[in-house]
Amino acid sequence: MTVSTTELDNIKVGVYSDSKSTKKKAEIRLIEFLLPVQNYIKDMIGELRSIKDEKQQKEYKTNNLIGVTMSALLGDSRTTNDIVQYNNIMCVDVDEEDNKELFAKNSIEEIKKAIFDLNFVYCVCLSCRGKGFYFIVPIPDSKDIAIYYTSMYHKLKNYGINIDKHCKDVTRIRFGSYDENILLKRDCEIEVFEEISVEQINEKKAELEKAKRVILKKQHRSHDEQIKYLKQTIDYLIKKGFDTGKHWAEWATIGKYLKTIGEDGRLLFHKLSAVSSAYKGIDDVEKNWQRFDVCNSVDEAMGKFYTMVKNKYGTDWRKEMKEMG
C-alpha cells in the first residue's frame, strides 16, 4: 500500500502555542508546519540551541515553542476523547542520548540520510534542540499507533538504531524546529509502514497475560476482603443477640443470601444458626440449606443482606461493629 506525498502534505494538524496548552490555536497543513513555520521560529530555535544548560533548554522549549499534534487532529481539548480525525501518520524520535555509539561514529546528517532512504519515510528533520532528529511515517491507522510504533522500534533496533519509546500517544505535541537540511520527499508515492513484528505480537501477548493476572489477583483479593467483612458482620449479629429462631423467614432469607457465596456462606450460616433458640443440630440446618434458592449474583445478595442488617440495627451499625471489634 502506498500514499502520495501530496496527500501527506495536506494533512491537517492542530497548532498549540506551547506544550502546556490544551486549547488549539489554529489548524494548518502538515507541509506548512514542516516548511514555512521553520522560518517563523528560526531565531527562537537558534536561541534555544545556544543555551548550554540542559534543564534551561527544556524549560525554554516547553514555555516558548509552538507545537502540533501530528497523529490526530483534535477538537477543543487535547485529549483522546476529542479526536476529530486520525491522520494515519506517526512521528518517531531518534535521540543522541539513546544512540551514543552510533552518533560517535557517524554525523547526524549521515544518519538522517540513512533513515530518509527507507521507502516508508516521508520527512526527516532535526529536533528543536538539535540533539537528534525526528522522522514521519505513514501508517494504516493512527488508532493502532502502538502496534506500528513497537514494530518500528524492533525493526530499527536490528540495524543498531534506538528510537524513543514514548511517542505512541496520538495527542503528543511535536515542537516546531528549524533544519536548513530538512529532508522531504515530494511529488511521489511512498510505502505505508504496515509491518507487525513478531516482537510486537509477543509483547502484546505478554501485556494481555499480565492484565489477566492483575484482574485475577484483584478478583481474588476482592473475594477475600468480602468474606472477611461478611464474617465480621455475622459475628456482629451474634454479639447483638440476633436470634433467627424467633423469625424463621429472616433465617431462611439470610440462608439464601449466604448460599450465593458458596462454601464460605454455608459455614457462616451454620455458625449463625448454632446460636438460634430453635437450633436442632447440624443435620437440620444442612437439610434447610440444601432447599434454599440463591440470588442472581453475589453483589445482589450482599446488597440485600447488608440492607437487612441496617434496617434492624440502624444506619450506624457499621460504626458500632467496628467499635465492638
| pLDDT tens digit at each of 325 positions of the chain | 999 999 999 999 999 988 888 888 899 999 999 998 888 899 999 999 999 998 899 899 888 899 999 999 998 888 888 899 999 999 999 999 999 999 999 999 999 999 999 999 999 999 999 999 999 999 999 888 988 998 999 899 988 999 987 778 888 889 999 999 999 999 999 999 998 877 766 777 777 777 777 666 655 557 788 888 889 999 999 998 888 777 788 888 888 888 888 899 899 989 988 988 888 889 988 888 888 887 778 888 888 888 888 988 898 988 998 888 7
Q: Do 52 and 134 lie in a common domain?
A: yes
Strands (E), the chain: 2-4, 12-16, 26-29, 67-69, 72-74, 83-86, 89-95, 123-126, 132-138, 173-175, 183-184, 189-191
Task: Please provide residue 123's backbone torsions phi and psi, each rounded to the nearest 5 degrees.
Answer: -150, 145
Of 172, 161, 90, nearest to 132 by C-alpha is 161
Q: Do 189 and 221 lie in a common domain?
A: no
Residue 168 is predicted with a pLDDT of 81
Residue 198 is predicted with a pLDDT of 73
204 Rama class: left (phi>0) / alpha (psi -120 to 50) / beta: alpha
Q: Do 135 and 276 lie in a common domain?
A: no
Task: Please provide residue 13's backbone torsions phi and psi, each rounded to the nearest 5 degrees.
Answer: -125, 150
From CA 181, how far away is CA 125, in angstroms rounded? Answer: 8
38-to-91, 115, 126, 127 alpha-carbon distances in Å: 17, 21, 11, 11
List the alpha helices (DSSP H) in 163-274. Answer: 198-239, 248-259, 263-273
* pTM beyond 0.95, yes or no: no
Q: Flag whether 209 is in a domain.
A: no
Question: Around Cβ 313, how many Cβ atoms within 10 Å?
Answer: 16
Locus of grid cell 501530496:
6
Q: Domain containing 262: what range? A: 217-324
Q: Flag whether 207 is in a domain.
A: no
From CA 285, how far away is CA 283, in angstroms rounded? Answer: 5
From CA 289, how far away is CA 298, in angstroms rounded? Answer: 17
Q: Flag whether 16 is in a domain.
A: yes
Q: Do 100 and 30 lie in a common domain?
A: yes
Instruction: Indicate the burial class of 294 (C-beta count within 10 angstroms; 0-12, 13-18, 19 or more).
Output: middle
Provide the domain count of the chain: 2
From CA 269, how far away is CA 12, in angstroms rounded? Answer: 66
Q: Is 258:309 a contact under the CB 8 Å cutoff?
A: no
Q: Flag whether 15 is in a domain.
A: yes
Domain boundary among 196, 225, 251: 196
List the alpha helices (DSSP H) in 123-197. Answer: 145-157
266-to-157, 244, 252, 287, 310 alpha-carbon distances in Å: 58, 15, 12, 12, 22
Q: Do 40 and 118 lie in a common domain?
A: yes
From CA 215, how far away is CA 222, in angstroms rounded? Answer: 10
Count of positions (residues) in the chain: 325
Q: Do 179 and 260 lie in a common domain?
A: no
Residue 216 is predicted with a pLDDT of 65
Q: Flag whether 154 is in a domain.
A: yes
Locus of grid cell 450460616:
269
Residue 46 is predicted with a pLDDT of 93
Q: Do 223 and 168 lie in a common domain?
A: no
Q: Flag whether 203 is in a domain.
A: no
